[in-house]
């Protein structure tokens, strides 16, 4: 059957531009879908860089002004892969132009912007999704199924970490194309919006809403050279953040993120403890889910390490890939997200996390930053 086309206009060409383009290129090889994404146009201000990106990934045309991209009738969906401070304006304009929108995380600089983006996509009735990709690592999706089946019983604890070590040197500058994540004007926050946002998105998905938080943040390097001005400028982002919270289901949460944990490159881990059992997951070993069931027979009771690579519908997404036992990795979480998006698009159904879902994460991030600032508990509102 000839596929219907979803013509993609990609804005940005960094790490995420590559991750998403790769997913669009692969999805129809592995998933039987009504729609096929087509790499119609790539857009960025730097014509030379975007040309090189388009050549590598096979985009058919270029734009250097995102407004022109959005105005193009041959583009159906806008993928926003630019620094956070540009998300709102692009998304609101893309919604007004009737485009579907796939926006890189976090949704926005703060919840106020996020709310405006939600209103824009909802008023326009356009499909929208935010790239919180870790939900679709098969082991994480399996964790969701196990929790939803009630096997863990009442939940008491949820804890998550996202640890990196790439900004320890005070010589790393801030700003510009590569290091905008260190520039508060472009990123909005540091590890809270960049890394904890992933942990919060997964946590809300697995364990429900977060009621209130108490947080601390630290900026270890107070000044860094700014790539654009060439001057030493104050650092406005949080280098590290830890917070406690109450979930709406009564369980307690403990979250930590830093870019100063020497030896850790992207150690995202979570653990959830319930009345009957526990689950834990580690991004560095992402195809495994560890499960403990207290109801197992006494002598055999212990942590199981489930290699989440089996077929037969038991292990999420895996029947689309190789033969049982052969694992997949990071990039596949994006392929799964595109596959789910295209399925929802064909059926006219929303695909989570929508902008509205991602706004919940944004609200928690805002409360975390406010709590650290005010040195007190903050409700998530
Ligand atoms: C930061 O280093 C980063 O690339 C985040 O921006 C991504 O969202 C995360 O998945 C990996 O780390």
List 209's β-bridge partners, or say none.
none
List 254's β-bridge partners, or say none.
159, 244
Sheet holding 252-258, edge to edge: 304-307, 288-293, 277-282, 267-274, 155-163, 252-258, 240-247, 210-218, 378-379
Q: Atom 5, ligand 1: which residue's CA is nearest? A: 194
Q: What is the pLDDT of residue 181?
A: 98
Q: What is the pLDDT of residue 234?
A: 98
Q: Atom 11, ligand 1: which residue's CA is nearest? A: 266
Token code pair at residue 314: 């038991």
Find the mean pLDDT for residues 166-182: 96
Token code pair at residue 268: 């995202």
Domain 4-133 CATH superfamily: NAD(P)-binding Rossmann-like Domain (3.40.50.720)
Instruction: pLDDT band for 154, please (50, 70, 90 cuts).
Output: very high
Token code pair at residue 119: 């209103």
Phi first, then psi, for residue 214 (nearest 5°) are -135, 130
Each residue's pLDDT tens digit, 291-333:
999 999 989 999 999 999 998 778 999 999 999 999 999 999 9
CATH of 135-351+359-379, one of 3.30.9.10, 3.30.360.10, 3.90.550.10, 3.30.750.24: 3.30.360.10
Q: DSSP alpha helices (H): ranges in the chain?
A: 15-30, 47-57, 66-71, 87-96, 111-124, 138-148, 176-179, 184-187, 191, 197-207, 330-347, 355-374
SS3 assignment, position 40: strand
Task: Report the residue count for the chain.
Answer: 381
Dist. CA 111–CA 123, nearest whole Å: 18
SS3 assignment, position 362: helix
Give the ligand 1 atom nearest the CA of 134: 10
**Helices and strands (H and E) in the chain: how many:** 12, 17
CB 175 within 8 A of CB 308: no
Using most ligand atoms within 8 A of CB, pick from 181, 194, 239 the residue to mutate for ligand 1: 194
Report domain extents, the chain: 4-133, 135-351+359-379
Using most ligand atoms within 8 A of CB, pick from 197, 199, 266 the residue to mutate for ligand 1: 266
Instruction: pLDDT band for 348, please (50, 70, 90 cuts).
Output: very high
| pTM for the model | 0.98
- Percent of the chain topping pLDDT 90: 98
DSSP state of 154: S
Give residue ranges with CB within 6 A of ligand 1.
164, 194, 198, 266
Give the ligand 1 atom nearest the CA of 133: 10
CB atoms within 10 A of CB 313: 8
Mean of all residue pLDDT scores within the chain? 97
Each residue's pLDDT tens digit, 238-257:
999 999 999 999 999 999 99
Q: Do the first three CATH levels of 4-133 and 135-351+359-379 match, i.e. the same topology? A: no
CB 40 within 8 A of CB 74: yes
Dist. CA 115–CA 88, nearest whole Å: 10
Q: Atom 6, ligand 1: which residue's CA is nearest? A: 194
Find the mean pLDDT for residues 165-189: 97
Find the mean pLDDT for residues 95-115: 98
Which residues touch 374 (CB under 8 Å, ≥6 apart)?
Answer: none
CB 108 within 8 A of CB 82: no
Q: Is the pLDDT of residue 1 over 80?
A: no
Give the ligand 1 atom nearest the CA of 104: 8
CA of 195 to the centre of ligand 1 (A): 6
Token code pair at residue 153: 């019983």
- Percent of the chain topping pLDDT 70: 100
Strands 4-11 and 35-43: parallel
Dist. CA 63–CA 47, nearest whole Å: 8
Q: What is the pLDDT of residue 177?
A: 87
CA of 28 to the centre of ligand 1 (A): 26
Q: What is the pLDDT of residue 337?
A: 98
Q: What is the pLDDT of residue 178?
A: 86
CB 224 within 8 A of CB 375: no
């Amino acid at each position: 059957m000839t596929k219907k086309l979803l013509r993609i206009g990609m804005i940005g060409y960094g790490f995420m531009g590559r991750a998403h383009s790769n997913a669009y290129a692969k999805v129809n090889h592995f998933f039987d879908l009504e729609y096929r994404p087509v790499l119609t146009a790539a857009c960025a201000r730097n014509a030379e860089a975007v040309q090189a990106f388009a050549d590598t990934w096979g985009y058919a045309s270029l734009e250097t002004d995102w407004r022109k991209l959005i105005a193009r009738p041959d583009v159906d969906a806008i993928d926003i892969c630019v620094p956070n401070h540009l998300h709102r304006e692009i998304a609101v304009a893309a919604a007004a132009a009737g485009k579907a929108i796939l926006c890189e995380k976090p949704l926005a600089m703060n919840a106020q912007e996020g709310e405006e983006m939600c209103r824009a996509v909802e008023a326009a009735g356009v499909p929208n999704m935010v790239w919180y990709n870790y939900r679709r690592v098969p082991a994480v999706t399996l964790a969701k199924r196990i929790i939803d089946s009630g096997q863990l019983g009442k939940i008491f604890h949820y804890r998550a970490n996202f640890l990196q070590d790439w900004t320890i040197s005070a010589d790393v500058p801030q700003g510009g194309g590569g290091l905008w994540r260190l520039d508060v004007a472009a990123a909005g926050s540091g590890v809270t919006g960049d890394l904890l946002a992933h942990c919060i998105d997964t946590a809300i998905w697995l364990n429900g809403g977060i009621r209130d938080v108490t947080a601390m943040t630290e900026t270890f390097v107070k000044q860094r050279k700014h790539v654009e001005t060439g001057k030493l400028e104050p650092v406005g982002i949080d280098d590290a953040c830890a917070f406690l919270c109450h979930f709406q289901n009564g369980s307690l949460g403990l979250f930590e993120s830093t870019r100063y944990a020497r030896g850790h490159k992207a150690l995202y881990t979570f653990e959830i403890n319930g009345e009957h059992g526990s689950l834990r997951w580690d991004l560095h070993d992402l195809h495994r889910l560890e499960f403990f069931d207290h109801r197992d027979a006494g002598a055999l009771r212990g942590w199981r390490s489930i290699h989440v690579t089996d077929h037969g519908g038991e292990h999420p997404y895996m029947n689309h890939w190789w033969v049982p036992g052969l694992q997949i990795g990071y990039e596949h979480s994006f392929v799964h997200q595109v596959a789910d998006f295209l399925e929802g698009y064909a059926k006219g159904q929303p695909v989570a996390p929508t902008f509205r879902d991602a706004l919940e994460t944004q609200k928690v991030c805002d409360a975390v930053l406010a709590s650290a600032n005010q040195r007190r508990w903050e409700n998530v509102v």
